[in-house]
Each structure stands twice: as C-alpha cells, then as structure tokens.
Copies of this chain bind each other. A is one copy, B any other.
Amino acid sequence: MTENNDVMPDEMLELIAQRFRLLSDPMRLKILHQLQSGEKSVTELVNNTGASQPNVSKHLSTLRTHGLVKRRQQGNMALFSIAAPFIFDVCEIVCDSMKTEWEQRSSLLGQPN
C-alpha cells in the first residue's frame, strides 16, 4: 500500500533534485550564462553580473564542487569555464517550454487547468 511500484530510489531522486537546485538560482544562471561565451576570471564575472566578489566566489565554488564548472589558475587570478555543457541543453528546453506556453496563453487565453 505504501510501496513505490516504479523503481526510482530516493537516493537518485535526491541527486537529480540537487542538480536542479544548482540551476534554480538566478545569479548562478547569470554566471553560467556569462561562462557560455568562454572562460572568465572572477573579477570579470563580478563586473558582468553586478554581484559582490565573495558572492561570485561562493557560487563558483558551489558550481565547481558539483562539477558544473572547472577552474584554472593563471598568475594572480582564477579562470573559470563550463565543465558540463549539458546545462545549456537543459536551459534551452526550459526556455522553449516557456516560449511555447507563453504563445499558447496569449492565443487561447483563459481556461485554467
């Protein structure tokens, strides 16, 4: 009665959720979007995002811990770049879904689910 028929262990759900959680913050998306055009230093990201330096560093640390970005030291500074290109595929799907939904709503208009 309380069993889960389909096999989908809680552990895995946890991991998937965790990955989505990484993408569920606007500032992190902003950073990732910045990195899409290529490797960037922390300072560059700070300037381009408008976030504080500690904030950017922390986000980068989080993203790196979970394997979404990689880090390269060059002289005085740290250069970050995308390590998991799948992010953009995912984002594209989500963007498309929003676009589709938007068009549907503005054309049909009304009728809630």
Which A residues lie at the B interface, using CB under 8 A? 1-6, 8, 10, 13-21, 23-26, 28-30, 33-34, 36-37, 47-50, 64, 67, 69-71, 83-84, 86, 89-91, 93-98, 101, 113
Contact = CB atoms under 8 A, between A and B. Distances in A.
Query: Chain A interface secondary structure, helix, strand, loop or mixed?
Result: helix
B50 A26 contact: no
A21 B26 CA distance: 10
Contacts of A20: 20-21, 23-24, 94
A30 to B, nearest CB: 6
A92 to B, nearest CB: 10
A49 B64 CA distance: 32
